[in-house]
Every structure is written in C-alpha cells, then in structure tokens.
Structure 1
Amino acid sequence: MADSFIAEARREQIIKACIDTLEEIGYANISLTKIARKAKISTGLISYHFSDKADLINHTLIYLISKQLDFISEKVVHKNTATEQLLAFIDSSLIYQETNPNNNIALIEIVFNAQTPDKVAYYRIPDEEEDHLYTMLKDILIEGKRNKEFTRDFDTDVVAIMIQGAISESMLKSMNRFTFDYRAELNKMVMNMIK
C-alpha cells in the first residue's frame, strides 16, 4: 500500500514538472531530459513510471482535464437550484483559469501540438469520449428548463457551446487585461439569454 502511494506521488511530481516545462518552453521543445531536470530527478525514473514521452503527455492531459473537472464539480454539486449551479459553473470555470495559468497553457500546448502515432493532431481527433464539463453544463440547462427556472425558448446545445466558448476564450486572454468584471458580465449575459 505504501509503495503504491509513493509511486502515485512520484507520478504526480513528474506530471507537474511536465506541466511547468510545457508552460516554460512549449511542446515543440519538451523532452524527458528537460522534464527530469525540472522535477530534479533522473530521466530513468521518468522512464520507470511512463513508457515514453507520448505516454507522459497523455497522462498529463488526463490529469489536467480531471483537475479542472474536479474543481468545477466540487463548486456545482452543492448548489440547490439550476440557476445557482449554472452561476457556480461559470464562476468556478473562470476562477480555475485565473488560478491555474500553467495548467491552461499546458493544456493548450498538448491539444494543439501533440499527435497520435498516425500523426493526427489531438485537436483533430473526433470526440469519442464524453466531455464531462459539457455534459454537466448541458444537464444544468436541461434541468433549469424542466423545472421552469429557465425559459424553454433556447437550444441547450447552442447555449452550452456559447458558454463554454466564452469561458475558453477568457483563457487565451490575461484576466488582468479586462477593464471590467468578466465573470459578472458573462453571468448577466447568460441569465438574460435564458431567463
């Protein structure tokens, strides 16, 4: 039991070093040697835990997605109404981006630069797995329509895509460059659209 805990802690240390290295030098310049240097461990130790660079990148992508999902879910699950859940979803999504800039950059670097063994960029791979954040958001909108908190005059897919787009776009801009409260404005705009 202790060995598996230590191995898991070491894997997380390596993944976090991978995230920091991606943020610093980008995907094109990353190597196991540079990640090992960042983690202050040997390259051989990385190879013990991950079969190769692609395996480490894939585990890093899964880690990034699960961290974001866990953060947002924790804020949404305790809310009682669809309106409260929707506002919590938007707020926690933006807070996550503000407080985890390295994760955002690493995620972008992986999605837009990593490739499958067949040389297909990750962003071009059809979504075969469920996007849990999108599903959570869509379920909130459906529940709000069902219980009449929200108007029935909107398409849940379109609104969910618009909200996620507005959230994602803010990731590409420094929150310090906004001269207004982006969260408040986005919340107001979404509520005007669905109430």
Structure 2
Amino acid sequence: MDTKQYLIADARKEQIIKAAIEVLTEIGYIKTSLSKIAKKAQISTGLISYHFSGKDDLMNNTLAFLVQEERAFIKDKVDNKQTYMEKLLAFIEASLVHQVIYRANTTALLEIVFNARTPDNIPYYLVKTDADDELHELLKEILHKGQELKEFGDFDSQVMATMIRGSISGSVSLPQYEIELDLEDYSEKVMENILKMVK
C-alpha cells in the first residue's frame, strides 16, 4: 500500500470513528451496532468490516482516538505557557473546556469505558490507559517542577494530581442543559481552591 492509499485508509477510519462517536452519544453503547454506524457514516457495513475486525475492535480504536484527542488538546494549551503556575492553570482550564467543546466525545468515551470489555473480559473502567497515564504524568511533572522552582509549596505531587484530576472529572456530572453556565462558575471555584492548595 503506497502513501496515498494509507492516507485514504486513515481518512476512512477516522470517518467511521467519528460516526461511531455520534451513534454512541445518541443511543449508547449497548444499542450501538456496525449497521447503525454505517448508516450514520453513509457507507456500507462491509466497508467498516474491511477496516475493523468487529464492534470491539472499532470501540478500541474509538477509545484510543478520544483519549489522544483530549491529550493533544490539553498538551497544546500547556506547552504555550512559560511558568509552571501558568501551565497548571492551563491544564485545568483546558481539561474543563474540552469537556464542554467536545461534550459528545466525553459522552462516547464514558459509554465505552463503562460498558466495553477488553479481550480478557476486564471492564475498561478497571484498565489504566497509556494516554490517561500521560496526562497524569504531565500534571505530576508540572507540580513537581513548580515545587523545584519554588512556584508551589510543599505537598505530595501524586496525591495533588489525583485530587486535581478528580475535580476535573466532577464537571461531567453538571446538568447538560446548563453546563456552559455552571462550568464557568465551577471552573473559577476549582482553580481558586487548587491555587490555595498548591501555594
């Protein structure tokens, strides 16, 4: 397969994955099927089967796509900042904003994580992903280096990172019909309290 064919194949896979995200958001994991995804993508089920070995394979690739997209979004915001205090605030803000801008992605990710299982029959919510580790490690690095440069006070960076990630995840529980209104207030309060803890 030459470069052009690889690019076409990658574009088709992304098209299928994005259709899968829409279907997962609309009807949930249990009701999602290859035929419904094919209908959403306006392609044949056979074309999906050409690129993915089945629903499980497609869901695995969809999950990988979702976590990579989130990681890239957050990392881009963090990398543009200079001080570690700025990087920390950018990490928190980008994480919260991502959940609003890409609400469908978050919904689809949760549908997969809480319903799909690995080939070893382990629920995904019990499996730690490399991408999730990377975001956690990025946050720990920000906190640790900020401490080294005396931008932050004395605390356990592992525990602090877990607390911060937990407060970010909590924004998912905000009612969807008022998410944009509540998120601004929630975001301000989260950052205000985290700043008190890290100084």
Same fold, judged at TM 0.5 (above)? yes
Q: Deviations over 1:70-109 (max 9, x none)?
A: 0000000121110000000001111111100100000000
Distance, in Å, in 1 between the alignment partners of 2:183 and 2:5 is 50
Shift of 1:117: 2.9
TM-score normalized by structure 1?
A: 0.94
Q: Deviations over 1:102-121 (max 9, x none)?
A: 00000000000001233321
One-letter code aligned to 1:2 = K
Distance, in Å, in 2 between the alignment partners of 1:171 and 1:107 is 12
* Aligned pair partner of 1:33 in 28, 32, 35: 35
Gaps of 5+ in 2: none
Q: 1:83 to 1:43 in 2, by over 3 A?
A: same
Which stretch has the larger CA shift, 170-179 or 20-29?
170-179
Distance, in Å, in 2 between the alignment partners of 1:6 and 1:15 is 14
The alignment-based identity, stated in percent, is: 49
Which stretch has the larger CA shift, 111-120 or 159-168?
111-120
Q: Match for residue 184 of structure 1?
A: 188
Equivalent residues, number: 193
Q: Match for residue 122 of structure 2?
A: 120
Q: Match for residue 146 of structure 1?
A: 148
TM-score normalized by structure 2?
A: 0.93
Q: Match for residue 79 of structure 2?
A: 77
Q: Which contiguous aligned blocks of 4+ residues in structure 1 show a shift greater than 4 angstroms?
A: none
CA contact (8 A) 2:100 2:180 kept: no
Q: Match for residue 111 of structure 1?
A: 113
Q: Deviations over 1:27-66 (max 9, x none)?
A: 1111100100110100000001111111100000000000
Q: Match for residue 103 of structure 2?
A: 101
Q: Match for residue 155 of structure 1?
A: 156
Q: Deviations over 1:12-41 (max 9, x none)?
A: 000000000000010111110010011010
Q: By percentage of residues, which structure has more helix?
A: 2
